[in-house]
Amino acid sequence: MNESTGIDRTPSLRGSIFKPQVVWSLLIKDWRCLRHDRHGLAALFIMPALFILIMSLVMQEAMSYDHQPQLPAIGIINQAPAALGHRQLAKRLQAELSGRVFTDQAALLTALQTKDIGIGIVLSSPATTDAQDIAPLCVDLLVDDMTPVPVVNALRSRIEQSWGRQLPGLLLADADPLARALMPSSMLDPTLIRPQIDIKSLYEVKGHTRFGAVQRVLPAWLAFGIFFIVLPLSAVFVQERRLGTLSRLQTMGVGNGSVILAKALCFGGVNAVQVLVMLLVGVFLVPQLGLQALSLHFDWLALGLMTAATSLAALGLALALSAWAHSVEQANLIGGALNVMLAAIGGIMVPKAVMPLSLQTMTALSPLGWANDGLARIFLGEQQWSQWLGDAARLSVFGIALLCLAAWQLRAQR
């Protein structure tokens, strides 16, 4: 309001919001701002394209109805060689699956743990049988936790079909005339026709414990959660650079090493709290949903060292990214997209056991895959440090290398 004339000269918003020339000018301005953020544009287009390619490769078998899973190397033990049909079935499975015959279950477990075989088949009978008894078939499939579920199901179906279709011939091959005369009545026994097949994990056999779903899921998402420290840490670091906080610290004689160490200790503590919260969720909240609670019977020192190595790798990635990023938005966008892509490669978004056998080695390219493998072994009760120490060492080297890269970049900027 103009006091001298009494005329209100306050700009009115009516009629100006939808003016075509105003909208067009604002549109040109926004496009120019977006064009200057080349890193953000690259993340918007390149990261989703890479994610689509990776997920297509990973899910090609799980989403195909016609695909026949490729079976890994098979180990076979026949613990009832005197039972009719068992010996012949073992020979047929050995020939059809190119199976390796074992005489000792301890040797079979060792071969399974060292990846010499992928699945162990243990043939047995529910009771002690004489040489000419017609015994039911019991099968234990001993699998590694990384064995794809479709592969296990395909092998189980193959054993069931082989036993059911070839049972008369298998029994006649070993039976004496008296057994042949009794064959029709024996074939009516449902326990003889339907084999009992149990699937047991390697760690369940070694630890005599059957784990719930949370025990297998938590390691993957624990690693994913630790690596998401990239978002808040990179945002804080970039903001300190833009506001001149780092420059003022440098003029006060504070070195880059001290700044990076302080950041690592602070956000490493946040990661420790993350681990504690996830453990509490698995122990107390998961049972409220009617699921088996998280078992805490594992090596706590091993868990501490493995989570520390995972946190070091995540902190190194965050600081290296923030040292090169030009804005908080850019760091968040690239950091989030990179985290999701590493999770897809590392078996987090899609479990490694679902991936095709030919692509499971791809998880070795992702630090999230290293963290997932190492934490999974610890949570499943692995007592030998040699089984996860290599993963922890790779994570530590990865994190230290990126911290050194971040320090070098900060020195160059100084």
Q: 127: domain CATH number?
A: 3.40.1710
Same domain? For 199 and 250 the reply is: no
Pairing of strands 74-78, 100-101: parallel
pLDDT (0 to 100) of residue 371:
93
User: Within this chain, do residues 229 and 185 fall inside the same structural domain, yes or no?
Assistant: no
Q: Is residue 87 part of a domain?
A: yes
**Structural domains of the chain, count:** 2
Q: Which amino acid is at 349?
A: M
Indicate if the pLDDT at residue 64 is higher than 80.
no
Q: CA 346 to CA 318: how far, in whole Å? A: 18
Whether residue 194 is found in the same domain as residue 294: no
Give pLDDT, residue 312: 92
Decide if 43 contacts 333 (C-beta within 8 A).
Answer: yes
Residue 188 banded pLDDT, cuts 50, 70, 90: very low
Tens digits of residue pLDDT in 249-265: 767 766 767 777 888 88
Q: How far is CA 125 from CA 83, 129, 135, 150, 167, in A?
A: 8, 8, 6, 26, 15
Residue 55 has pLDDT above 90, yes or no: no
197 and 276 co-located in one domain: no
Highest mean pLDDT among 101-105, 191-195, 394-398: 394-398
Confidence (pLDDT) at 339: 85
Same domain, 83 and 100: yes
Helix (H) or strand (E) holding 406: helix 389-413
pLDDT value for 27: 74
**Would you place residue 322 in the very low, low, confident or very high pLDDT band (cuts 50, 70, 90)?**
confident
- Two tokens at 262? 């302080």
Residue 169 lies in a domain: yes
- Distance, CA of 411 to CA of 395 (rounded, Å): 24
When pLDDT is averaged across residues 109-135 and rounded to a whole number, the result is 76
Name 387's Cβ contacts closer than 8 Å, sequence gap at least 6. Answer: 377
Q: Does the residue 104 lie in any domain?
A: yes
Tell me, yes or no, whether 142 and 243 share the same domain.
no
Q: Are residues 197 and 217 in the same domain?
A: no
56 found inside a domain: no
Is position 68 within any domain?
no
- Is residue 7, in this structure, part of any structural domain at all? no
Mean pLDDT of 155-162: 83
**pLDDT reported for residue 308:** 93
The answer to whether residues 265 and 385 belong to one domain is: yes
- The residue out of 181, 207, 233 marking a domain boundary is 207
Question: Do 99 and 127 fall within a single domain?
Answer: yes
pLDDT at residue 382, rounded to an integer: 78
Q: Which range of residues forms the domain containing residue 269? A: 213-413
Task: Return all residues near 31 (Cβ < 8 A) that are at least 6 apart.
Answer: none
pLDDT recorded at residue 252: 73
- Whole-number Å distance between alpha carbons of 257 and 265: 12
Q: Is the pLDDT of residue 190 over 60?
A: no
Mean pLDDT (the chain, rounded): 77
**Where does 37-176 have alpha helices with state H?**
38-58, 86-97, 105-113, 149-174
For residue 156, the one-letter residue type is R
How confident is the model over 338-375, as pLDDT tens digits?
888 888 888 887 777 777 666 777 778 889 989 998 99
Asked whether residue 19 is domain-assigned, the answer is no
The pLDDT of residue 150? 76
Rounded mean pLDDT of 176-187? 51
CB 355 within 8 A of CB 347: yes
In terms of residues, how long is the chain?
Answer: 414
Using the CB atoms, write b or e for 311-348: b if 16+ within 10 Å. bbbbbbbbbbbbbbbebbebbbbbbbbbbbbbbbbbbb
* Three-class DSSP category at 344: helix
Question: Which of 207, 234, 249 represents a domain boundary (last residue)?
Answer: 207
Could you tell me whether strands 138-143 and 119-124 are parallel, antiparallel, or unpaired per DSSP bridges? antiparallel
Q: Are residues 269 and 285 in the same domain?
A: yes
DSSP alpha helices (H): ranges in 194-251? 202-207, 213-227, 230-243, 245-251
- Has this prediction a pTM greater than 0.75? no
Higher pLDDT, 230 or 39: 230
| Pair (203, 236) in one structural domain | no
* Average pLDDT of the residues in 42-50: 65
> Of 207, 236, 270, which residue constitutes the final position of a domain?
207
Instruction: Flag whether 152 is in a domain.
Output: yes
Is residue 138 within 8 Å of 196, Cβ to Cβ?
Answer: yes
CA-CA distance, 395 to 37, in Å (whole number)?
31
Residues 295 and 316 in one domain: yes
What residue has token string 């590493």?
Answer: 342
Q: What is the mean pLDDT of residues 118-122?
A: 88
* pLDDT over 70 (residue 406): yes
